[in-house]
């Protein structure tokens, strides 16, 4: 009887050891701590960014956060993404419409960086761009998005704030600091019209406030107009690539170029680089 008990205890002990050894080899009942998926947070994640802010702050990147949902992450994950247009042609303003982003080993968070061409964005300031950033693949072949709570697509809306309508008739008073006929023609007041272009920009036929269209430059140099196209962003008057008969026109030194949203009064400081004509024009709505 005692001998039988010894064999029984030995058999049971061996069974337990084998069972434990099988458990260790097969990982039965253990969850893989690196098992997870890539995601943007939220069911329909999105962001709206104002073009005006990017331009005024000279911010040329947009950061899109994403993460790896797992207990641990022992090796880096490289996510490949693309963009899909919903409204407008995002290639007008995006430097990179596709690319990759990395979550480093032993971390769980990453960021997709979209680079913005600020010069092109400023030239297309009136346009709205809506596009999706879409997870395409990754180097670990883990899942991407978990329906219905998490997404593999992130929507970006890039738009300008509401633009002011500057078109209309104005009484324009211009004080000149430099031109060929000072001091006799030091100031001028006249009625001028600001016209609207279909792209959200505006123009005036004589940016000099009369010097080129009705003042002494007409008889002396044969001028008749001085057309300049400009636009408004957050109350600031801006332009680029504009010129008079002899060279570029830029904002005046220490310039005030703005519009008062309450009164509609526009102040424009300008300077011609060809021969130095300069002045400050104040547009008062009629």
CATH topology of domain 168-285: Porin (2.40.160)
CATH T-level topology, domain 37-159: Immunoglobulin-like (2.60.40)
Annotated domain spans of the chain: 37-159, 168-285
Phi, psi torsion values for 165, nearest 5 degrees: -90, 105
Would you give per-residue pLDDT tens digits along the chain (286 residues)? Answer: 444 444 444 444 444 333 333 434 333 224 566 778 999 998 899 999 988 889 878 999 999 999 999 988 999 999 999 999 999 999 999 998 999 999 999 999 999 999 999 999 988 888 899 999 999 999 999 999 987 788 999 999 998 876 678 999 999 999 999 999 999 999 999 999 999 988 778 999 999 999 999 999 999 999 999 999 998 877 889 999 999 999 999 999 888 899 998 899 999 999 999 999 999 999 999 9
Q: What are all long-range contacts of 261-270, with beta carbons under 8 Å and residues at least 24 apart?
A: 261/164, 261/235, 264/166, 266/166, 266/170, 266/194, 266/237, 267/237, 268/207, 268/230, 268/237, 270/207, 270/208, 270/228
């Amino acid at each position: 009887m005692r001998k039988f008990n010894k064999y029984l205890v030995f058999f049971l002990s061996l069974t337990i050891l084998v069972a434990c050894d099988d458990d260790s080899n097969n990982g039965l009942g253990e969850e893989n701590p690196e098992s997870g998926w890539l995601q943007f947070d939220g069911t329909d994640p999105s962001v709206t960014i104002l073009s005006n802010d990017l331009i005024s702050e000279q911010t040329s990147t947009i950061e899109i956060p994403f993460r790896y949902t797992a207990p641990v992450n022992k090796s880096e994950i490289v996510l490949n993404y693309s963009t899909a247009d919903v409204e407008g042609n995002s290639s007008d303003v995006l430097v990179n419409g596709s690319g990759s982003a990395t979550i480093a080993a032993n971390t769980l968070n990453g960021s997709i960086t979209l680079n913005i061409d600020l010069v092109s964005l400023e030239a297309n300031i009136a346009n709205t761009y809506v596009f999706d950033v879409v997870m395409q693949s990754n180097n670990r072949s883990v899942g991407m998005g978990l329906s219905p709570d998490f997404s593999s697509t992130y929507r970006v809306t890039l738009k300008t704030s509401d633009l002011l309508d500057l078109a209309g008739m104005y009484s324009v008073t211009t004080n000149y600091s430099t031109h060929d006929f000072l001091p006799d023609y030091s100031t001028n007041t006249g009625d001028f019209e600001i016209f609207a272009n279909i792209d959200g920009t505006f123009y005036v036929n004589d940016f000099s406030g009369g010097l080129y269209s009705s003042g002494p430059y007409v008889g002396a140099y044969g001028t008749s107009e001085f057309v300049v196209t400009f636009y408004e962003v957050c109350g600031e008057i801006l332009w680029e690539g504009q010129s008079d008969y002899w060279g570029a026109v830029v904002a005046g030194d220490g310039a005030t170029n703005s519009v008062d949203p309450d009164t509609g009064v526009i102040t424009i400081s300008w300077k011609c680089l060809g021969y130095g004509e300069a002045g400050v024009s104040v547009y008062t709505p009629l």
